A = this chain, B = another copy of it.
């Protein structure tokens, strides 16, 4: 294992176990990343079948969550890790909860897509939804990249992006409300869009959480609930 920040263990079996867990987290991350992309495409194209596929993928994501939690619990019991190994296991335990919830949020978008596919297609504002979705899936990709390389700088950039996501989300929400007020017949359909946009915003929050666990692993500091400037200081200070 050449990832910087990892110790090499006398027990190569222990090394292999940690590496296996790490790889499974990345596999789980790859699945949820694809879920976001597919769910948004299903929403854009009112593609019922693709929406259904996203929902099926969620079962795999859930299985991985349960499997990785079991593995972490087994490693804690048998290997009794300390220092950076313990921080890695801790970061994994927290990260997979967020990955699973990203899967849940994508699932919600997929359900909206299946609903909308029975209705008239809706194109107003959809370009902006797609834009937000691309932005959010890039953020998840970067958070996973930060996790893969245990890179605090990339993680910090993800935490920064979340502020931009929140601004895009607010703007889209205002636009949706204006649509509804101008043409109340669209209310039901626009509500489905609003739930999807909200789900994307939540995914951004989860990506940010993952980024914070990476910073915790690398710097040994819990930066949750700190203002962004303080997180920036923590990342720069001890490097």
Task: Give the segment of A39-47, A109-117, A118-126, A176-184 that binds chain B.
Answer: A176-184
Question: Does B187 lie within 8 Å of A65, measured CB to CB?
Answer: no
Contacts of A181 in B (CB 8 A): 184, 187-188
* CB of A77 closer than 8 Å to a CB of B: yes
Count A interface residues, CB 8 Å: 31
Contacts of A62 in B (CB 8 A): 224-225
Q: Which residue of B lies closest to A223 (CB)?
A: B66
Q: How far apart sit A87 and B69, CA to CA, in the bound complex (Å)?
A: 11
Question: Does A225 lie within 8 Å of B86, measured CB to CB?
Answer: no
Contacts of A65 in B (CB 8 A): 224-225
Given that A177-B188, A181-B187, A188-B177 are known contacts, is A90 also in contact with B73, CB under 8 Å in the complex?
A: yes
Question: Does A76 lie within 8 Å of B70, measured CB to CB?
Answer: no
A106 to chain B, nearest CB (A): 15
